[in-house]
Each structure stands twice: as structure tokens, then as C-alpha cells.
Amino acid sequence: MPAALAGCAPKDPGPEVVYSGTVTVIGAGTAGLYAADILHTKGIKVNIFEARDQIGGRVRSLRNQSLDQYPLMPQLSSDFPVELGAQTCLGSDSIFGKIFKTYNLNSVEFPPSSSNFVMSKVAKSEADWGSDPDFLAAKNFRKNLRNNVGSASSVLQAIQSAGINERAYGVLNGTIGNAYGGNNEKMGIGELAEEEKLRTTDGLVIAPKSNPMQDILISRFSSVQSMVQLNTPIVSVNYSADPIVLTAKDGTTYNTDKVIVTVPISVLKTGVMSFSPGLPGAMTGSLTKFQMGDSLRVVLEFKKNFWGESVGLILGSTGVPEYFSAGLGRSQVNNTLSVTVNGDLAAQYSALGEGAVDAILADLDILYAGQGTQFIRKDTNLKNIYILQDWTKMPYLLGGYSYPMPGANNADRKAMGQPVNDKLFFAGEATDVSGQAGTVNGALASAERVVQEVVTAIKKV
Ligand SMILES: Cc1cc2nc3c(=O)[nH]c(=O)nc-3n(C[C@H](O)[C@H](O)[C@H](O)COP(=O)(O)OP(=O)(O)OC[C@H]3O[C@@H](n4cnc5c(N)ncnc54)[C@H](O)[C@@H]3O)c2cc1C
């Protein structure tokens, strides 16, 4: 028998990467799960620490969530997945889009023709705005955004320099500032231009027809789920010697050999996670050039669809930069609006608490002649039915997604993801350099990049 086994040995290929150490991933969001999954596939020992009580991070779907946090969840009648964070995928040929295909998920496409744009408190389609000169100027500016590579201006300054009428500022905030996680006043246009130039996907906006986004992550990364230790916030990373020592919030320490940090940059910026030695100056300098915008998602159900059965997005209102008709193509009734407010306005709405819902309904009332308050569904106590997710107040997430400030460029994103001493590695949407930062695809792409860096470091020894 031993002789027979010995005969097999030369044919056993063993793991793809031979490594006796352990790689620890901090954060079980998209980037952390995918990085762990690829490393595991290569035969490398991995474990994952997650601060929160579930995996997914900023991919969070409204099912099986705690009633303490979402008391009105049972009142919602939606017959399609309601998303609290990421809700669409940019690019049917992107990494995320390919996951949909691998799992044969039916998806819905939201073509540009399904969008409405708001100017002078009126929402109309691109076709209906027709040759309105202010709309055309805004459309042209948006289309040519990529020509601003190297500019150190804010998006708003660039809009002003282009001489665009203020009447169209909302359209450009809905399609640029808010879409990229902030608002035009604070956002740098140079890095956005670089990102749009780098992007190579087909640009189709799709969403799964009936699968919650969080479930897609859970299925795709099921092989590493048992390696995730939930409710374990890491507060310090000491990589001054071997092994690296991680300390959790409850004081427990863990030894490991390499660490991949995937926490949002908001967490890195607040300093709740300390590094010893401190992070390199190039990285901390670049971190100051990006922000995690405040971010709010509000889901509202109405008794009827008064915004248009074929409308997907309503972009550019000053009160709400983005309404998404989340049931389009997915719901029998199509009466749900998913509101995303980012940046300064999200900070204002966050301060209002539940009053944010009234502010949103007031905005709808202006756009649709009082129909917001008229048709909002109410419970038996005549309270509005809604779900409010304030990402800024979520511990260990602290905001929406990263956006560049004026003067930032893609080299800064690269610096934020630079490995340190072949021991410390960084991934997560903010470190994406493929032009997809701020998205699930950016997080996935950063995971592919970081695994290559870890494997290169392992092979050096
Ligand atoms: C409202 C909203 C709408 C969005 N819409 C879209 C969209 O339509 N399409 C799209 O592609 N993207 C969208 N995004 C962005 C997308 O969700 C993110 O880019 C992506 O999920 C980020 O993944 P990540 O792995 O980089 O970070 P995260 O998902 O944030 O994962 C990081 C993980 O680290 C954990 N963590 C933090 N601190 C610690 C610690 N100290 N110790 C241990 N763990 C820690 C966190 O709990 C979290 O689970 C949206 C985001 C928001 C908030």
C-alpha cells in the first residue's frame, strides 16, 4: 500500500501556492470575501474577522434582518428584493455581472431611456426634454466628463466654467455627484474623469430579478463562510515583528502571517483601527484626498405608481438626487421608490432622523402635485410605511462609498492599496484602480489585485 501511494505522489499537484502561514482578512464585505475565496482556492490557509453580525458589508438586502433595526419590515409588501445598499450592477460583462451569469440569475436591465431628469421642478425623459438648451448642455457636460483628466477643480467649478445654467445643476448632481457617492460641490472631477476612462465594461445597468444581492454573495462565497468570525472588530494591527498580532475590541489577540485590510476608508480615517508601525505617509496622505460620503437609503411603498410605469430612475431633484423605481421589470405592482441621498444632503437628512421621510415626500409632492403624501402606504395606525437605512450611522461602515476630492487622482487610489513590508495588504472599493471604485465591481477587482500581491509576496520567500 505505501508503495502504491508513493507511486501516486509525483502526480499529486498539491496546492497552487505552497505556504505554511495564514492570511487573515479583516472585513467580510465583498472585497474580503472574494479575496479569501481566491486565496482558499489556491490552497492558502485563510481566516476572516468581521466586526458586524453578518457578512456582506455595504451589500445588505432586506430579508432576515432584525426587527429591532427594521420594525416596519413585515409591513412591506414588495414582491422583489429590496436592497439597503448596492442595488444595481454596472456592466453585464463586469466581474459581478459574470457572477449573475454563472448562477444563471435572471436580471433586469435599466436602459438610459428609462430615466427621467428634473429641471425647474419638472421630471421628464431625455426625449421629452428634447432640444431644451440647458438640458442639452448638461447632457453634453456629463458625456464629456472624461475629458477632465488632470483637472484639480471640483465638479461644480467645472460645471460653472462650462457656463451651464443653474437650472440644470440638479441633473448634474444626480448623474455625477450623488451617483459617485457625494455631491458636486465637494467632489473632484479629475479623478472621476480618470475612472471613466479606465472603465472597460459594456456599461449596462442591471439588477437581479429576484435574488437579493446579499444572497448572491452568500452563495458565491459559501466556501469561505465557515472561516468568518463575526462580531469581532479588530482594533489594532501590530506588524512590527513576526507573527503579526491582531487585537480585537474585547482584548483577544490573534497571531497571523499576512493581513488583508478591507475595511471602509471611513474606518481607517477615524483611527479606530491602529497600526504599529503607523501606515506609510504616502498612504495616509492619499487617504486625506478621499471621503466616504454620508449616505441614506429610504424605501417607500405607494398605493399606486404615479411617476410612470416605465420610469427607472428620476434624477436631479434638489430634494432627492436619485429615485429608483426598484420594482420596474421585477414587481407585479411596481409601486416602490428606492431613494438614495449621498453627500451633504444625506448629512442634513440624517440629522432629521425619521423626518427625512417627510422631506422626501415633500419633494415628491412638488414634482407630482401632492401625490407623494396622497399615495404613500400607511399602517393601521396611519403611520407611513418606509424603511430607512442611514449608512453614516452604521458602526464599522460609517458612510456610503468613497469619492475623490479636488486634486485627487488614480495614483492616490493606488497608494491607498499599496502593500506594506510584504505583510500588510489593502483591498476594498476605495483601493480599486480599474475605474470602478465606489462599486461592488470595484471591491471585487481590488480583491483580485490584492491576491496577486499576496501571492507575489509569498513567492519571494
Ligand atoms: C446606499 C448605497 C448604495 C450603493 N449602490 C451601489 C450600486 O447600486 N451598485 C454598486 O456596485 N455599488 C453600490 N454601492 C457601493 C457598494 O455597496 C460598495 O462599493 C461595496 O459593497 C464595498 O465593498 P467592500 O468590500 O469594499 O467594503 P464593505 O462592504 O464595507 O466591507 C467592509 C467590511 O469590513 C467590516 N469592518 C469594518 N471595520 C472592521 C473592523 N475594525 N474589524 C473587522 N471588520 C471590520 C465591515 O463591517 C464590512 O463588513 C452602494 C453603497 C451604498 C452604501
d(CA 290, CA 182): 11
Whole-number pLDDT of residue 128: 97
Nearest ligand 1 atom, CA 52: 47
Q: What is the C-alpha separation between 180 and 224, in angstroms, rounded?
A: 30
pLDDT for residue 6 is more than 70: no
> Cα–Cα distance between 422 and 244 in angstroms, integer?
12
At residue 7 the predicted structure's pLDDT band, cuts being 50, 70 and 90, is low
For residue 59, how far is its CA from the centre of ligand 1 (angstroms)?
Answer: 6
Instruction: Evaluate: CB of 49 within 6 angstroms of ligand 1.
Output: yes
Q: What is the pLDDT of residue 44?
A: 97
Question: Is 391 close to ligand 1, i.e. is its CB under 6 Å away?
Answer: yes
Instruction: Read off the pLDDT of each residue in 408-435 and give the average, rounded to a whole number.
Output: 98
Peptide bond between residue 277 and the one before it cis (omega within 30 degrees of 0): yes
Going by alpha carbons, the residue nearest to atom 4 of ligand 1 is 86
Q: Extract the runs of DSSP E, i.e. beta strands, from 93-177.
A: 107-109, 115-119, 122-125
- Burial environment of residue 317 by CB neighbours within 10 A (0 to 12, 13 to 18, 19 or more): buried
Indicate yes or no: pTM above 0.85: yes
- Residue 11: per-residue pLDDT: 73
pLDDT digits (tens, 9 = 90+) for 92-113: 999 999 999 999 999 999 999 9
- pLDDT at site 175: 98
DSSP for 348-362, written as a single string:
HHHHHTTHHHHHHHH
Residue whose Cα lies nearest atom 38 of ligand 1: it is 396
pLDDT average, residue stretch 367-374: 98
pLDDT tens figures, 249-267: 999 999 999 999 999 999 9
Exposed (0-12), middle (13-18) or buried (19+): which is 181, by Cβ within 10 Å? buried
Higher pLDDT among residues 305 and 3, named by residue: 305
Give the chain's mean pLDDT: 95
Mutate to test the pocket of ligand 1, among 389, 440, 446 (most ligand atoms within 8 A of CB): 440
With a cut of 90, say whether residue 5 has pLDDT above it. no
Cβ–ligand 1 contact at 447 (below 6 Å)? no
Where residue 1 falls among pLDDT bands split at 50, 70, 90?
Answer: very low
**Which residues are CB-contacts of 460 (< 8 A; sequence separation ≥ 6)?**
422
For residues 287 and 402, the answer to whether their CB atoms sit within 8 Å is: no
Are 267 and 261 within 8 A, CB to CB?
A: no
Could you tell me the distance, in angstroms and rounded to a whole number, from the CA of residue 30 to the centre of ligand 1? Answer: 7
Q: How far apart are CA 44 and CA 61, in angstroms?
A: 30
pLDDT for the residue numbered 15: 87
pLDDT surpasses 80 at 12: no
**336-359, pLDDT tens digit by residue?**
999 999 999 999 999 999 999 999
Residue-range domains of the chain with CATH: 13-55+221-289+406-460 (3.50.50.60), 73-111+204-212+292-393 (3.90.660.10), 133-198 (no CATH)
Q: Is 213 in the pocket of ligand 1 (CB under 6 A)?
A: no
Look at residue 61 and tell me whether its pLDDT is greater than 50. yes
Q: Determine whether the shortest distance from the Cβ of 401 to ligand 1 is under 6 A.
A: yes
**CA–centroid distance, residue 77 to ligand 1 (Å):** 26
At residue 288 the predicted structure's pLDDT band, cuts being 50, 70 and 90, is: very high
Query: Which residue's alpha carbon is nearest to atom 12 within ligand 1?
Result: 439
Name which of 9-18, 166-175, 342-351 the model is least confident about: 9-18
pLDDT of residue 14: 82
Single out the residue of 125, 135, 172, 436 nearest to residue 317, CA to CA: 172
More confident call, 10 vs 414: 414
Lowest mean pLDDT among 11-20, 136-145, 208-217: 11-20
CA of 267 to the centre of ligand 1 (A): 11
Mutation probe of ligand 1 site: the residue of 49, 401, 425, 451 with most atoms within 8 A of C-beta: 401
Ligand 1 contacts CB of residue 91 (under 6 A) = no
